[in-house]
Chain A
């Protein structure tokens, strides 16, 4: 039995899978926060090229991956499917554990799977330059890499405190030719206003986002090359691009004559989970017996304890209203060391599939996730991103459950990224500075009260 199952480049999928075509209950349109009416493509046209907006609303089941995109994806794709046999031996449970290694991309995570096509579609739309924001630099580095591959200019507004504290991903961006500046900057009206009040302002993601959007919208008036904005999570077209993960896995399983009983991924905004799971959700819709588990922190239970409703996706009620799982605007998640899992709203596609009973949400405790990450590192060798550790905790849970039930199981987990630039969280775990905290029921009820009066999606 091989440890790694490879696909040749000519075996890499030629189409992305759009689950919107197979949803038992079709997605409902996002609503404008002001009018509560469905928003149209023109509302988003100042920041996204129309070809990506078309993908965002497409109902086509299969969407061709352009040859130019395939050529760039070949740099690290197809990604290997690993058999985690050393973990299997350690656990001594009746399970076969496979994982898709998405940490081997140039930027170290699944993010380039959508950065590459997003930049490509911008390019063929005539866009010359893309602006975005970043904190520690995961998305900024992925987008910088993609822009470099297609010869577009990348402008990354990096939160000043991150810019000063986290040089490595900033240097990755520079190496790929991007311009990365600290935010707030003097280059936008939003940044100048902040700096006028506080010249030493350390910045925030909110400020950086404002600067990136302003950069894109005002580019023509400012005489800059045609510019758009790019987002690396939550939106439908991001999920679409990530499905190459699961589509590859299907082919790799076929090569060894196997098929998973359980598919597991961590879910924050939902993109890495959706990318691995959606092709298997399609099989489940067609009648296949398969368990699909989306894992989240127990202290931020968006999927496991949240309410499916229309909610604003942001802090100041400005993002288009999307039907999603939410704890409401007033919910303040409890502390947990996994940045990617802290959104209070899940991707609408994932939320709807949970409501349809096709995806099972699960919450795991913080200490259990790091224990799983350490076990993984000491068996399989790879050091996982803190977000990825949530999925690994669920893998170990399922392995032990199989042993208790005396059943043989085959598990697929999406190993969404390495943690090599993020070891401070492990340090905190080793020093005993982390703790478990599960959100008390009363807090959730209070948060959900904030949503009373909002329109509810049809189920």
Chain B
């Protein structure tokens, strides 16, 4: 497997998402960041099945590193850069 969007036998398995605060399916966790799984997917699912092994097969080493070895998401917003990014939209006239 090299496609993170390839379906797995666990797509409909449910778990409570600690970020969102309600039940989600593994199918959501697998693509939470579009082409990448949620950073917490291994932590959340590792007791249910070999999720790390699944992602090592599904992702390239670079994707795996990007998915799980980068800073974890939190509710503390990436304010400064998001502000700068939004300012550039205004400066560049890219608003619809």
Interface residues in chain A, defined as those with a beta carbon under 8 Å from any beta carbon in chain B: 32-34, 39, 43-44, 46-47, 133, 135-138, 159, 161-162, 165-166, 189, 192, 194, 197-198, 201-202, 204-206, 209-210, 213-214, 216-218, 221-222, 229, 231, 233-234, 269, 312-320, 329-345, 422, 424-425, 428, 435, 437
> Do the beta carbons of A221 and B20 come within 8 Å of each other?
no
CA distance A197 to B35 in the complex (A): 10
* Chain A contact surface mostly: loop
Interface centre among A159, A206, A337, A435 (most CB of B within 10 A): A206
Interface centre among A46, A135, A217, A314 (most CB of B within 10 A): A314
Question: Which residues from chain A contact B15 at a C-beta distance below 8 Å?
Answer: 335
- Closest Cβ–Cβ distance, residue B15 to chain A (whole Å): 7
> Do the beta carbons of A213 and B19 come within 8 Å of each other?
no
Is B43 part of the binding interface, using a Cβ–Cβ cutoff of 8 Å?
yes
Q: What would 10 A/B residue contacts be, using CB atoms closer than 8 Å?
A: A33-B81, A161-B24, A214-B86, A315-B70, A316-B70, A317-B71, A329-B72, A332-B43, A336-B18, A342-B40
Question: Which residues from chain A contact B64 at a C-beta distance below 8 Å?
Answer: none
CA distance A43 to B82 in the complex (A): 11
Question: Which residues from chain A contact B38 at a C-beta distance below 8 Å?
Answer: 204
- Closest Cβ–Cβ distance, residue B25 to chain A (whole Å): 9
> Do the beta carbons of A342 and B18 come within 8 Å of each other?
yes
Closest-by-CB residue of A relative to B82 is: A213
Is B12 part of the binding interface, using a Cβ–Cβ cutoff of 8 Å?
no
- Closest Cβ–Cβ distance, residue B89 to chain A (whole Å): 6
The A-B contact count (CB < 8 A) is 191
Contact with A along B20-44 (1 / 0, CB 8 A): 1111100010011110001110111
Question: Which residues from chain B contact A204 at a C-beta distance below 8 Å?
Answer: 19, 32-33, 38, 73
- Closest Cβ–Cβ distance, residue B85 to chain A (whole Å): 7
Q: Are A424 and B16 also in contact (CB < 8 A) when A214-B86, A316-B71, A317-B71 are?
A: yes
- Closest Cβ–Cβ distance, residue B3 to chain A (whole Å): 14
- Closest Cβ–Cβ distance, residue A165 to chain B (whole Å): 6
Question: Which residues from chain B contact A329 at a C-beta distance below 8 Å?
Answer: 70-72
Interface residues in chain B, defined as those with a beta carbon under 8 Å from any beta carbon in chain A: 15-24, 28, 31-34, 38-40, 42-47, 68-83, 85-87, 89-90, 94-96
> Do the beta carbons of B20 and A339 come within 8 Å of each other?
yes
- Closest Cβ–Cβ distance, residue A109 to chain B (whole Å): 11
Question: Which residues from chain A contact B86 at a C-beta distance below 8 Å?
Answer: 46, 213-214, 216-218
Closest-by-CB residue of A relative to B69 is: A330
Question: Which residues from chain A contact B31 at a C-beta distance below 8 Å?
Answer: 202
Question: Which residues from chain A contact B80 at a C-beta distance below 8 Å?
Answer: 32-34, 39, 43-44, 318-320
> Do the beta carbons of B72 and A339 come within 8 Å of each other?
no
> Do the beta carbons of A231 and B77 come within 8 Å of each other?
yes
* CB < 8 Å neighbour of A437 from B40, B47, B76, B79: B47
Interface centre among B17, B74, B75 (most CB of A within 10 A): B75
Closest 4 CB pairs between A and B?
A: A318-B78, A329-B71, A136-B21, A217-B86
